[in-house]
Amino acid sequence: MSPKDRSPQSGTSPQKGTAGLTRLINAFRYSCSGLAAAFRHEAAFRQECALAAVLIPVALLSATSGVGKALLVGSVMLVLLMELINSAIEAEVDRVSLERHPLAKRAKDIGSAAVLVALVNLVAVWVLVLLG
């Protein structure tokens, strides 16, 4: 079966048939598409990108060691990562149903909690690295 013959109903992604450089190029394109969609549709992601645009240069210009800089930048990137995952969870829950349901609320709340934990981590890392 060629990749074009696979349908969404088959449960097999058409991209699974590609290999090597083609697969990597496709994966990169899908990742860029996901970043663009998050930026276009998610206000929280845009706000966190603005925060990252400020904090990452500050981290790189800080008078800390290489490890300190890596921790500062990594904590910022973790917030972006958690926001992307949270946005994906919310989009999928909304795709399934817009009805209020306890499990949908739980999924969305847990995704939001992951972002909160990443933000608390960011503050803790920055305080410890810069003041510790």
Q: Which phi and psi angles does 124 have, rounded to 5°? A: -60, -45
Tell me, what's the pLDDT at 8? 55
Six token digits for residue 94: 């909304």
Separation of alpha carbons 59 and 124, rounded Å: 14
92 is known as an active-site residue: no
Could you give the CA distance from residue 68 to residue 66 in angstroms, rounded to a whole number? 5
Q: Find all residues with CB under 8 Å of 46, minimum gap 6, and list them.
A: 39
**In the chain, what are the domains?**
43-131 (1.10.287.3610)
Give helix 20-41 / helix 43-61 axis angle, nearest 10°.
110
Question: What digits encode the pLDDT tens for the residues 1-15?
Answer: 445 555 556 666 665
Reduce the DSSP state of residue 70 to 3 states and report it: helix
Q: How far apart are CA 112 and CA 90, in angstroms?
A: 9
The percentage of the chain sitting over the pLDDT mark of 70, rounded to a whole number, equals: 87
- The secondary structure of residue 11, as a DSSP letter, is T
Q: Which of 48, 83, 90, 99 is catalytic?
A: 83
Q: Which two tokens stand for residue 26?
A: 């496709």
* pLDDT-based confidence at residue 132 (cuts at 50, 70, 90): confident
> CA torsion angle for 16, 17, 22, 27 (degrees, to 10)?
-10
pTM for this entry: 0.83
Q: What is the pLDDT of residue 82?
A: 98
The 10s digit of each residue's pLDDT in 58-96 is 999 999 999 999 999 999 999 999 999 999 999 999 999
